[in-house]
Structure 1
Amino acid sequence: MHSLTQWDADPVKAFKAFVSTEAFAETGRRMRADGTLKILSAESAKIYTFMFNNVAGWIAEQGLAFSTATQADLLRFIGRTEKGKPVLNSKIAYRYLRLLERCYEHLTVTPNPAQQAILQIDRAHIKKDDAGRSLSDDQLERFFAALPADAPRKRRNTPFDGWKRRRDRAMQVVIALAGLKVSEAVGLLVSEVGGQTAIDGSIMLTITPSEKLDTSHEHTVALPREGVDELRPWLEEREKMAIPGQFVFPANLAGNRLTRKTVYVQMRATFERAGLDLSRSGGRTLRNTFAKRQLDEGTKPEELKDALGLALERSAADYKLTRVTPDPG
């Protein structure tokens, strides 16, 4: 076990030596089916290390020592704001405190400042953040019915007039039916779209970190027939237009990358046409809807984790908390 002196001298080094050990697993109390402790995966250790580095950096900036940081100090860390907005949402803030609670438990610091901080935060607000962000089957159908409409062919001056509508339509369907993040959709590459169609009409999408945010992890997910029926025609049109580059959903005829802001604006317009709650008109709602449907169909959390490309083992279980929000009014 590292001493408090070692953690204060180089907390990042001490944490890296701790996070992948059985001692860290003991603080999480997660067991395999055979009753043995479940050691953290390398991918999850990477995420936890990233989080701890953020805390350690802030503690150093405050002129504090890790072992003597107080409950009030930790509450200041999670309560930081930038331009008047919280740096961390309540759910992520809670995860930071839980991680620190495990560190202080390992170091036998009493009282445990992170544990004390957890008792002070609004747990009801955390549950509110977790819940109410998916669509019912009826709401999802309304969303699909409100997708950007294609321009009548007789009104087109060229065969490709209105191509951006067809791009946006296909992209929103893929996000909803494959559970992609918006960053994964705008960075989706032609080479990542499977060419072979399965018996049920689905194809596989292989999502890689290439051209996406650092939070995207390589994974494969099946796009069902309904999604294929939208994506295939768009890919064929894209090829006929000879758009350069590899982006499946390019921003323009030069093949540049779409901005996430553009996607959010187009998605919000679809939610508005469908008469759905605009406070939840984002890719997260569609991703949660995909996850909830998967769980309802019997997918196990560990399988859902792989389908969503999640880094933390417990992340998939969070989707069990997702509830359907009634329409406004």
Structure 2
Amino acid sequence: MKAGLTLSLFDDTPPPQHAAMFKEAFDGWLADQRSSGLLRRDGSVAVYEDMWEAFAAWCLGQSPVVDLPTLDLADLQAFQAARFGRKTSDLSLTPRYALRLMRLIDRVLRHQASRSDSPPNTAAAAWIRANPEMRYADAAHADPLPDYLSVGEARQLIAFLSAARPRAGSSRDAVAAMTWQEVRNRTSVALQLGAGLTPGDVRALTLESAISQAGRVSDRPWKLLVPGNGNSPARETPIAPWAGELLQHWLSVRMEAGIAGPFLFPSTRTGKQWQKPSQYECAKRVLEEAGMDSREGGSFRLRHTFALRQLRRGTLPQQVAAWLGIEAAKMKRYERVLPGVIDVV
């Protein structure tokens, strides 16, 4: 037990000065980042705020309270062991997320020390050194480890996306009130998670890409023909049943709306191809509306989750690589994290 931190056995509320210390330390660092132009995007600020809030909540919830001056390696190891830090049902920490959080803690602590002209608390830096597998997750010289959705996140996202189509027990009024763009956006995100597509794949798909013939369920697409590009050849990839149902609904919505053109997900009723900036913002909005955070990696997390799910099911890496349109050698990055993946939806 750390000296000076003893609380009454019946006092569950940390002293206000502790909470104030966490807030002042982060606010000071954030203000300097903004004034120096190093942190400008509101989305990035929100991610850092959520990270720090989760870390502070854990520290203040301990008995005795863990405060910044006495924070040590054992505290951070306990924090990681508790798998706290994300607002999801299982509160899990992916390697990349944990690394990013520890780097944030280290920067805030060093900034706080520079303001008071005192030696910095290097506990976070010590944690990074003590966890080489986490350092490798974001090593500049290595192929970064893929960031993927936790079980809770995947289920939450699938439920949100699937709410865009009529089904038993769903609100038909809510589904009917959706614009065709909203259905398009959710379906396109569904194919990133349910078929392993990249954002570029989504924009390139045509009406001929959706294959429903010879499927188990009449008229429900079960695989996609993905056009080739400069980075990968044309390929086929399977569609998860739940995503296929949503795609089937989108095709009906698209036809009823009288949308023209060959593209599966056009940007306008006249059939104009969806452009990268617009598609990126639409996918980001869907993830945010579903309760997903906006951390680095964006919607590529969905593709990585698809790959890990297939590997967990026993599919050969070579086959998954063919579905993803990548070289088989690149599957090593998934194999490095697979032993730590308890389950992937």
TM score, norm. by length of structure 2:
0.51
Shift of 1:243: 1.8
Selected match of 2:272 from 248, 256, 279:
256
- Separation in 1 of the partners of 2:178 and 2:324? 34
Shift of 1:240: 2.6
* Equivalent in the alignment of 1:137: 151
* Equivalent in the alignment of 1:321: 336
Gapped regions of structure 1 (runs ≥ 5): 1-83, 85-121
Report if aligned partners of 2:145, 2:333 keep a CA contact under 8 Å in 1.
no
Per-residue deviation, residues 143-166 of structure 1 (Å, max 9, x unmatched): 22344965987699xx79611001
Q: 1:273 to 1:294 in 2, by over 3 A?
A: same
- Separation in 1 of the partners of 2:174 and 2:198? 34
* Equivalent in the alignment of 1:205: 224
* Equivalent in the alignment of 1:220: 236
Over the residues paired in the alignment, what is the CA RMSD in angstroms? 3.3
- Separation in 2 of the partners of 1:224 and 1:149? 16
- Separation in 1 of the partners of 2:241 and 2:174? 30
Structure 1 position 265 matched with structure 2 position 275: no
Report if aligned partners of 2:227, 2:234 keep a CA contact under 8 Å in 1.
yes
Instruction: Give the residue type in structure 2 aligned to 1:295.
Output: L
* Equivalent in the alignment of 1:195: 212
Per-residue deviation, residues 107-146 of structure 1 (Å, max 9, x unmatched): xxxxxxxxxxxxxxx9975532623500122211112234
Secondary structure of 1:227's counterpart equals: helix
Instruction: Give the residue type in structure 2 aligned to 1:141.
Output: R
Moved more, 191-200 or 178-187: 191-200
* Equivalent in the alignment of 1:283: 299
- Map residues 155-166 of structure 1 onto 2, 5 A cutoff: 162-166=179-183
* Equivalent in the alignment of 1:127: 137
- Separation in 1 of the partners of 2:174 and 2:152? 32
- Map residues 51-130 of structure 1 onto 2, 5 A cutoff: 127-128=137-138, 130=144
Secondary structure of 2:295's counterpart equals: helix
* Equivalent in the alignment of 1:244: 260
Instruction: Give the residue type in structure 2 aligned to 1:258.
Output: W
Report if aligned partners of 2:185, 2:286 keep a CA contact under 8 Å in 1.
no
- Separation in 2 of the partners of 1:275 and 1:154? 22
User: How many residues get paired?
Assistant: 200
Q: 1:214 to 1:162 in 2, by over 3 A?
A: same
Secondary structure of 2:138's counterpart equals: helix
Secondary structure of 1:295's counterpart equals: helix
Report if aligned partners of 1:148, 1:165 keep a CA contact under 8 Å in 2.
no
- Map residues 288-307 of structure 1 onto 2, 5 A cutoff: 288-307=304-323
Per-residue deviation, residues 9-42 of structure 1 (Å, max 9, x unmatched): xxxxxxxxxxxxxxxxxxxxxxxxxxxxxxxxxx
Instruction: Give the residue type in structure 2 aligned to 1:205.
Output: L
Secondary structure of 1:205's counterpart equals: strand
Shift of 1:232: 0.7
Moved more, 301-310 or 129-138: 129-138
Instruction: Give the residue type in structure 2 aligned to 1:131.
Output: L
- Map residues 20-59 of structure 1 onto 2, 5 A cutoff: none
- Separation in 2 of the partners of 1:138 and 1:263? 25
- Separation in 1 of the partners of 2:279 and 2:297? 11
Report if aligned partners of 1:268, 1:282 keep a CA contact under 8 Å in 2.
yes
Q: 1:281 to 1:148 in 2, by over 3 A?
A: farther
- Separation in 1 of the partners of 2:301 and 2:161? 16
TM score, norm. by length of structure 1:
0.53
